[in-house]
Structure formats: C-alpha cells, structure tokens
Structure 1
C-alpha cells in the first residue's frame, strides 16, 4: 500500500515536471539556515531559489527530511548537492542536538507551513465573494425578539428561510461588489462574517412563520437583511498549497485590495477578476505586470502624453482611435508591459479570487495585470 508521504511526493512531482523548470540556487544563498518561528516553506524557498514555488524539488525524496511539511523552528537546514549535482536541503542533526532551541521546540501545531496562514486566515474563514443572485436566494435575518437595529450575543433572531433544526449557521453581511474594470459589471459581492447562530425552532415559511435561531457568537453587530450560510461552507483552511504555474495562458487584473490602500506590497492581499471560470486554482503563481506609459514623439521630441501640448494630445487620441500615426512628423509609441511582482492565488470563486503578493519590485496598484503568458 502506498504511504501518504509517497502519494504526496508523487503528486508534487506531477505538479513540478523537470522539463518545465530547473532549480536555480541564488548566488547569495546561505549554506545553512536555522528555521525561525513564523517562517514558511515559501519564505525559506525564497532564500534559496529564484522560483520559490519549486520548493518541493529542493527536498523531494530527501531521506533526511522525512516530511518537508513538518520542519520546525530551531531546525538547521544545510544546502548540499547529490551525486547528480542536484541541490537539496537537509537537516543538520548535529546542530539540532547541540541547539537548546532545537531541543525545546514543541512539535505538532508549530510545523512550518507553505504560506503565512495568520495573514490569509481571515480571507479563508471570515470573508467570501458571492454572486449577488446567490445571496438573494439565501435565508436572511428578518428581526429579533428585541426591537433594536443591531443584534448581539444571546439574542433570538427570526429568519426568512428553511433551516435545519439544531444546525449551526454563519451569518454574513453583504458588502460592496467587486467590479470588472473593463466591462464595469459586478463579478461578486464581498460577504463579511458577522456571527454564528443555532436553530431551535424550524418555523413554517409557507404559513408565514419564520425560523428561530439563537446567537452563539458575534464578530460584529448583526443587522436585518444579513444572510445565512451553513457554518463551514467556504471556510476550508488548507495548511499547504500545491503551488504551481497555470498550464494555460491567464490574464486578468488586480481589482481590489484588502487594506483599501492605493498601493500595496509583499504580503498584502488583493482581489483578482479571475476565478474558476478562467481555470484559476488555489496555489497558482501569477506574474504582476504593468503597462509602461506611452510616448508621443513629435516636433518637440519624445514626450509623455501628460507633458504634451493640447494639440499633440488631440492628435494622439484621434490617431489612436483611427489606428493611424499621429501625423507625418509625430509618432505614438505604445510601450511594452513590464513585470513588477508575483502573487499566489489562495482562494477561488466563480469570477474572482483572493491572492497574496509574494514579491514586488515596485508598489502594486489597482489595475495592474495578473498574467501567465
């Protein structure tokens, strides 16, 4: 019978074929690295590899690391090369015996993960992106046993919907829509977790009797119109992601950010107008590109449009619309797109997905392109 570890390794081998990517160790990679609390496999791989998503290859089938998903703070990792000249990370057992930190480090729940779960957990458990039509068909809060606009712990709520007796449900608040910048259409609505309720009276919706629930926990105030989902729906929390590049070309855009800032950086969360309909999956690695500004090369020399005269701008806009050069003495140059960062998708819906920025050369902005060519 095949062991779970072998199955995992075979799956990772299929996800990272040798013909597609070659391990390239960074020139400044250390010969030894001591795992610290808060490190992830992604972080460690980024120290050694130019392509961090190839981390399974770095310790694949390594007899000294029985399970690369179970390394701990205090472990000393040493870079070595096998008989075929392939780089491998091994645990330096001599260091581990001598290191007090290595001896006292507790095991189990403190194992290193592939991504920083403390950053993405709120978007795996407390936030969802749901189609507006789907939300409209969910059971929702009509009111409570107290005539107040907001409800809290211990209150009884009345629900317009068929609910299962004694079952727990999560309550969500419908937020602003995520809008596609090209089509200006709503792709999904942000849905924020507000609390947990449990059904103690089913009700009879056909005869106008609402279901009754009791509030068991509250993250924020519950309001009339907030809708219900089964408690665990959409709240899966994978500790490890099968990180890989998509097999097919993908192109979308950053349409929103978690912190609502104008610019964001490594370890920030962004929303993409890409989802399962575009064959995007959790663990997909995408490049972030930005369109370089165009240039009008006219009688006064090359200039950016904002530095050009009103007449040059008018000629440029007209020529671009007609697909012509500006005039015999002026040329409109369309510049290429340049890579400004990388991200990893960690939660996918039909038309949108959440992603974590893992690298950036410049501040990332709304409208930047998420792409694999």
Structure 2
C-alpha cells in the first residue's frame, strides 16, 4: 500500500517515498504480497522464460523499432509491451525471460518502472532501470491523502475490459435449451416493444413456475431466437447461439389466484411473475426468454500459442448486422473444449488465396495463390464445440470460413 499524507514534514515525506519505492520494487522483483493479483503462470511459459533467460532473445526476433528505454504507463499490458519489443506479441514469456532475474512474476510490473534494452553478442535482454545499482528509483509523493493497493496496479497481460461486454452476451444452447427457459408473456399497457424501465410479466416453462424463492434478488439475461452455428467445412450444426437483448430483475414471483370467467364461475388462474427491465441492448418483446445471470468472472487472459496443432474455421461474426469483423470484434470458431480450446489460446487467421488464371504461359492454367496470414485472434470463452475469440490484430476484414492455424513461432 502506498500512502500520501498532507502536511507531513519534508523528512517524513522522504521516508514515505523511499518506503513506497521499496514496496513497488519488492513486489515486482521478488513477488507481490499475498493480497496482490495472483495470475497463473503455466509450466510451459516458465520453461520458455527460463530458456530465454540463459542467453536472451536473438536480435532477429526483436521488433524493428524496439525502444532502448521505455517507461511503463497506466493502461499498458504485457501484450502491448511485448508488441513493442518482439515481432510476435503472443510470445510474451520470452519478454519475461529477457528480464526474469529482476521480474519474478511477469504479471506484477507497475506503471512508472523503466525498461532498458541491452544488446550483446547477437542477443537482447531487458532490465529495470536502477535495479543494477542497488537503489530503488525516486518516487515523487504528492501532498494529499491517497491509498493505493499495488496489486491493483499490476499490469494484466491483456485488458479484460475489451472482453467483459461479451462474456455474458452470446450463449450456446442445445436445440431445446432456450425453449425450456422462462419466457415473457405480457407487458404493461399491451406494449409490443419493451425497453429499459418497462415492467413485464413472465412464466416458467414445462410446468415449473418462476418463483421468488432466493435470498437475494434474482437477475436475468434476456435472449431471443437460437441461431444454428454450422461448421463451414462440413455443414454440421455445432450448437445454437442465443441472441442477447437485455437484462432484468424479478420483482414478484409467479403464483395463482381465483378468477371469474365472466359467467359467474370461479376457477384457478395463473398470476405470472413480475419482471422489471433494467438494461436493454435492443428492444424486447413477448416470447423472449430469460436465463439466470451468470456470476461475474474476474479473469485475466494470458495470450499463448496452442500446445497442439490446430486447424479451425471462423463460424460466425458476432453481431447480426456485421459481415466483416475488424480489430477488437468477436467471432465464433469451430473449436471448443472438446478440441482442447482454453481461454488465452492465440490462433493465426489466414486469408484465402485468390484463384486466378496464369496469363503468362499462353494458356489458361488455373492457379490458387497461397493463403496469407491476415491477423491474430485469442479465445476467451469456450463451449463444448464452439468458442468465442477476440480479434487482436488484423490486416483485412475477417469473414466466415476463414482458416485458423497455429501462429508462427
């Protein structure tokens, strides 16, 4: 924890600055305290880093404009820093290996630290400025009260804020999964289109009433349709993607009451559950389905190459009105947990080579130009046979059917 106190003497502030600096360096170089972020490091990543640590990274693997000196800024990620120094940013364990003696945990480096690039005998290494002199760098302390947890400032490998919006949106269900979920049956004032702030009524399916029987408020995600996702190569249906349209919270559970039918006869009538719409991606309507809102996942994504050979395809571009996907957009791919997919796996996107006629040989020979790498994507959410991936970088638009392979080492 760094602490800044208004009105302290110059001596006290100097001592405090030194303590803050020592805390930051200790966290980065010999492991952060127990309350700091504790992201996983795989054995393969550590082995790669240790191998690089023995000699450094070949100069041929450095990015063309790798900076000699770089100050880490708030908002930086290991992916972004790797991109500065290496030709392939997903090889960030090698960046760690260049500096493994000083950075014991690559997930715990902090804004304000300075990286120094050193070249020697055909290899490159990184070090933290000041650590070779045994003294921590100077930390300037502002004259105001402030408390910060250094663990909260540690750099993630990739900013999860880009992905968070998609974590609970697309959902893969089986053919009957969505049909068995509770549904909106009516809206106040017989409204056709429903949006945030509206009150609607819902019923459970298959004879199971929608009850308010939980100790906490029940929150729901609202979905529509179930679009089949087909493998571009085989045409096989891999699953059904439900379209996310909004969020809701239960006000009252489903019940029953006595009601007259207009002829003086009394019978039991269903009283649907009362649901308040608290968020809308687009307008909802009667018939849309409700699924319990999943718990928020606080997850870091560590980009890495797959351990095994992968050959996949882009199944769909997320978003009904989108044909081509660009950087930071989401696509579904035809590989899931059954194929060994895990969050963090990076795949290369290949652009299909054009089919043209060779006009130089005097004939009409048909040629197929080689497929070329078009960019990189990273898997962040997996289902059994389908995964969702974020496009990290791209040269041209991504289309359904584009091939996916292991990135080049």
Structure 2 unmatched runs, 5+: 1-30, 257-267
2:85 maps to what in 1? Answer: 48
Say what the alpha-carbon RMSD is for the aligned residues.
4.0
2:250 maps to what in 1? Answer: 198
Q: 2:220 aligns with which of 170, 174, 186?
A: 170
Cα distance in structure 1, aligned partners of 2:164 and 2:129: 29
3-state secondary structure, aligned to 1:59: helix
2:21 maps to what in 1? Answer: none
1:217 maps to what in 2? Answer: 278
3-state secondary structure, aligned to 1:292: coil
Contact 1:74–1:96 (CA under 8 A) maintained in structure 2: no
* Superposition TM-score, scaled by structure 1 size: 0.73
Q: 2:204 aligns with which of 154, 160, 174?
A: 160
1:68 maps to what in 2? Answer: 106
Deviates more, 1:278-287 or 1:259-268: 259-268
Structure 1 unmatched runs, 5+: 304-328
2:22 maps to what in 1? Answer: none
1:349 maps to what in 2? Answer: 383
* Superposition TM-score, scaled by structure 2 size: 0.68
How big is each residue's C-alpha offset from its partner over 1:322-357, in whole Å with a ceiling of 9 and x where there is no partner? xxxxxxx65433333222211111112233222222
2:352 maps to what in 1? Answer: 291
C-alpha distance 247-98 of structure 1, shift in aligned 2 (>3 A): closer
3-state secondary structure, aligned to 1:194: strand
2:370 maps to what in 1? Answer: 336
Of structures 1 and 2, the larger Rg is shown by 2
Contact 1:174–1:189 (CA under 8 A) maintained in structure 2: no
Deviates more, 1:169-178 or 1:241-250: 169-178
Deviates more, 1:337-346 or 1:175-184: 175-184
Q: 1:273 aligns with which of 325, 331, 334?
A: 334
C-alpha distance 352-96 of structure 1, shift in aligned 2 (>3 A): farther
What is the 5 A alignment of 1:72-87?
Answer: 72-79=110-117, 87=125
Equivalent residue pairs, number: 338
Cα distance in structure 2, aligned partners of 1:192 and 1:153: 17
1:323 maps to what in 2? Answer: none
Contact 1:78–1:92 (CA under 8 A) maintained in structure 2: no
